[in-house]
Structure 1
Amino acid sequence: MSSVLDEPVTQASTSASGRLRSAMAAARLSFNWLGVRKSLSSSQKDQAANSFGAEGKFLSAGKKLLDTRHAAFKAVTAIRGRTVAYWKGVSLPFPEPGIRLIRQDAISDFDQQIAAFRDELDEAVFELDRHYDELRSAARKRLGDLFNPDDYPPSLIGMFAIEHDYPSVEPPNYLQQLNPELYEQECQRVQSRFDEAVQLAEQAFLSELTQMVEHLTERLSGRQDGKPKVFRDSAVTNLTEFFDRFRSLNIRSNEQLDDLVENAQRVITGVDPQQLRNSQALREQVASQMSVVQSDLDQLLVDRPRRNIQRRPR
């Protein structure tokens, strides 16, 4: 699949940050989530402090309203984790809290997947609500005198939600006429944000690839009790998934990184995890070639601080 970042763009986009700015959209993900911890009242803190001979105002204490280890609660939490993982997997970092950059031509797929997660969440919360009385009863026993029925909503339906939107990160056009000087300042600020986004993307790709290459090399070359170390299929398949994601989101900002990704991909192309388990010669070959890639990655990590100095101030 060719990346939209490889296609011709407007003249403002001859730089990596320009290509990023032209081809990507800001996507924000947020959650409305039931809080399961509550601070103790002043009188309760005083009571707790007395048992330690302390003063209540110097004590920070809270109570856990529900058992989050319950299977139904863990199912709800897992959906949140998978949603965040998906969002990060199809996007690049951006230096503003809660915002990441996704390909403009991937917005429809992103919408559909978030909607699917939202449906899953609704079903999981419905199941959790079926156990709500059970969870409250358990909390009443565990909390004793600290239990307060007013801490609990009548139902858990509607207490969990996934939200997403596409905020504008560009300077508003109306400033151009109202205040040209301010508009220019905003243009410079936005450009600085995208310059930094390029650096963040490079850093994220470089760190992730380095960790996976190190892990695979260590698993293949190391020995334990005189035998080759055991490794999971994910040591190889995670790299394959990384290559697909890199190809889709690559902003072509660092030729060295591009070459290293290509070299690493070349090493494991056509290599099956089971083949690595069955063939000592293949293990040694892949480990040796990956060691070279790892050395080059380490050198690139060393060189990065000098490149980052050139970054525009935020």
Structure 2
Amino acid sequence: MIAVIPFPDISPELFTIPIFGMEFALRWYALAYIAGIIVGWRIVLGAVRRPRLWQDGTPAMTAKQVEDLLFWAILGIILGGRLGFVLFYQPGHYLAHPAQILKVWQGGMSFHGGMLGVLIACVLYSLRHGLRMLSVGDLLSMAAPVGLLLGRLANFINAELWGRPTDLPWGVIFPGAAAQDCPDVIGLCARHPSQLYEALLEGLVLGAVLLWLAYRRGALKRPGWISGCFFIGYGLARFIVEFARQADAQFMTLGNPLGHALELGGGYGLSMGQLLSLPMIGFGILLLLIIPKAR
């Protein structure tokens, strides 16, 4: 008998409070966003309060500017994440039902969209306050992995974004008819816990590498270096994990059971997550090649 791991019985909601005849619930996913933003903010504050990490001992921002940028970043995460999901994954559905775009509480956020939103916020804030754009980007890149770590853990608790069927001993029996709808599988269907793969690679490992670069290798003295490493690191991690992650339902058909957004023939192809990660990897490589020469 193949060893599998039963899904832990954890409620998606931490608690529910009845107020005026309505129930308000705090969900793990919302808590992940809140905690990720707070911890990321503290990481950035810690870096700007250490002049030795910066070229000529001059941090890219003041503590007050970090607090101001936090509001811009939150807007970028929410607006970019939601619009990215709408445009990248279900444009037809939301074009037919535009009012549902505002219903963010029903789920549907894209990391790549959120990243673009934060990138735009970084550019606009830097231009407005005359800051070194690449250095501000380095600070935001240092803060991003903790949010990725917590967000992927929340995805696991919510039993969403699970992986493809597997017979590996750490396969997880996710609940629900959709998770158990596995062709050619008799009995319970175990799947890759791809959310945990991403939490490990995109969150824990990538975050540790970026902090090591900043605090031990003087990377903040080379504007753009940490940003480049973040783009490459996230892009590679996401590209690899996509091979074990279940494709979005809208891309899966009888002729395309693996849900490739780009079919290359012979049963091979790339998922939407992989297609969106390739420009990130390319941009990160470009930063690492150009920035040192520009100094």
TM-score between the two structures when normalised by the length of structure 2: 0.26
Kindly indicate whether structure 1 or structure 2 has the higher relative contact order, using CA contacts under 8 Å at least 6 residues apart.
1
TM-score between the two structures when normalised by the length of structure 1: 0.25
